[in-house]
Structure 1
Amino acid sequence: MSDHDARGANEQEQILAGGNMGGAVRVGVSVRRCAGAWSPTIQRLLRHLRQHGLYWVPEPLGRDQDGRDSVSYLAGEVPQYPLPDWIWSEDILADAARRLAQLHAASAEFDTTDASWQIPVHEPVEVICHNDFAPYNMVFVDGRLTGVIDWDTASPGPRVWDLAYLAYRLVPLTDPANGDGLDSNVSQRARRLRLLCDAYSRDHGHEVGPAAVLPATVQRLHDLAHFTQARADGGQDELRSHVDLYRRDTAWISVHTRALNDNAG
């Protein structure tokens, strides 16, 4: 038995909320989940990111005695919906954008030879996208962003693919009827979108503005609605309400694209 397995052998498993598609458990100082064909690639990606100074991503720990994928546990608060009011701080918005920029800068050099991904690759490939860079996958200590979790759906894609989803969740770019969003008007959201884009672009060296983020967000939500519809049709009927939500949010962005662009400055 390895040191890794020995440390967790006598520790109770704790089911964690969220966990992407679910199934994540905490065992002591580690998090375990069922491994897939993509797991060795994700372990290698996390190692690469940490070697490039991104110590806010989990440490890869290989597989445990049961063959499960294992990474280090990042201590702190992971907000779930309904999100707490403090999550809408502009400091958190800017810090999240900077972290995403750091990820993209470090991952651009990742060797994808023989890589396997759970989520399809999106063109043009520029970086490795987290694909779910959102508040419910962020770890906070005393209201400060200290880590990002749930990397198993990472895959190559364009920078704007990740930035668009972060904008959707944290600006937010949602229909006012969506209770997961922030009670704010179009002008306020345009200003937050500009702040997000500016914070990302300053740290990355690649300028990505609202004019690129907005159509990418629409495409992401179209894809998400299609993916969720397929899961609902496959027996997960409770997801049908999510499909309607994504489509309403898509329509809201489409209607307000010009105002979001014009007011972003």
Structure 2
Amino acid sequence: MTPTTPPPHHATEETEVLYGGNTSGPVVRVGDTVRKQWHRAAPSVTHLLRHLNRHGYEAAPRSHGRSLTGDQLLEYVPGTLADRDAPLDTAELRRLGRLIRDLHDLTTAYRPRHPQQAVWDVALPDTRAEVLCHNDLAPWNLVRDGDRWVFIDWDGAGPGSRMGDLGYAAHGFVPLHPDGDPHADAVRLRALADGYGCDRAQRDELPDAIHHRVRGMYDLLVEGGRTGRAPWADLYARGHADHWGPAAEYVARHRDLWLTALLDEPVV
């Protein structure tokens, strides 16, 4: 991808190292831009973001391409990360589901500029490539600024299944954590699925898709710890698997309850 001229950068512009960067290296804000490491999937991710931008998808940051210094250059979105606020309420979960549905629907019309050269860096490849997914839809990647909600950190975007992407989001946003209340979780999961507009087949698929993604994250971390594969080895050493393993067991244990809530009347 040809480097683009970045927005003006003056020495007096505020520079800030941003929270995150677990798998993508340092993330730095300079003025109203975000600069992060260029990587092998960056050309494909940049092209996807520009497709979403052209179609008015406000939940994706605007991409400015590649800077003259070789970094990814993105819009800086002010606001608060969702993991620093109270969990979303049911109305907000429905809105979240709609944003994810809009993302998936827009990617059905997406065509890579050079299909044979499209490269993605998907941590947990899906057996189905229904749409292009964000693949890390979680509270730590949702910035809210007034009425605008924006998903950040698209480095792991790529082909996947609708329910796989929604299922990963359910883990973080419902949230489906080991210390949860499974009946309250059922109501909240139903709100997310309703917002997405899941049909019956998708509702039937969703609980197992959640478990597949959560268990997959645990297995990825454990394998990283065993082999030393970056960045998963570092995350394993920092104790991340201690969450994902019990979370997978929690999801498996309450699968039938949540399936009932998704297919029938909400559980109260």
State TM-score, norm by structure 2. Answer: 0.85
Counterpart position of 1:247: 245
Contact 1:25 1:32 (C-alpha < 8 Å) held by counterparts:
yes
Counterpart position of 2:222: 229
After TM superposition, what 4+ stretches of structure 1 lie above 6 angstroms from structure 2?
none
User: Within 5 Å, which residues of 2 pair with 1:68-217?
Assistant: 68-80=71-83, 83-85=84-86, 87-112=87-112, 113=115, 114-119=117-122, 121-142=125-146, 144-176=147-179, 185-201=181-197, 209-217=202-210
Identity %: 28
Q: Secondary structure at the match of 1:236?
A: helix
Shift in alpha-carbon separation, 1:237–1:95, aligned structure 2, 3 A? closer
User: Within 5 Å, which residues of 2 pair with 1:42-53?
Assistant: 42-53=45-56
Contact 1:222 1:250 (C-alpha < 8 Å) held by counterparts:
yes
Contact 1:15 1:26 (C-alpha < 8 Å) held by counterparts:
yes
Shift in alpha-carbon separation, 1:122–1:9, aligned structure 2, 3 A? farther
**Which amino acid in 2 is paired with 1:229?**
V
Contact 1:104 1:129 (C-alpha < 8 Å) held by counterparts:
yes
**Which amino acid in 2 is paired with 1:8?**
H
Cα distance in 2, alignment partners of residues 247 and 57 from structure 1:
30
Q: Which runs of 5+ in 2 are unaligned?
A: none
Cα distance in 1, alignment partners of residues 203 and 186 from structure 2:
8
State TM-score, norm by structure 1. Answer: 0.86
**Which amino acid in 2 is paired with 1:254?**
A
Cα distance in 1, alignment partners of residues 90 and 85 from structure 2:
14
Contact 2:129 2:159 (C-alpha < 8 Å) held by counterparts:
yes
Contact 1:58 1:73 (C-alpha < 8 Å) held by counterparts:
yes
Contact 1:134 1:166 (C-alpha < 8 Å) held by counterparts:
yes
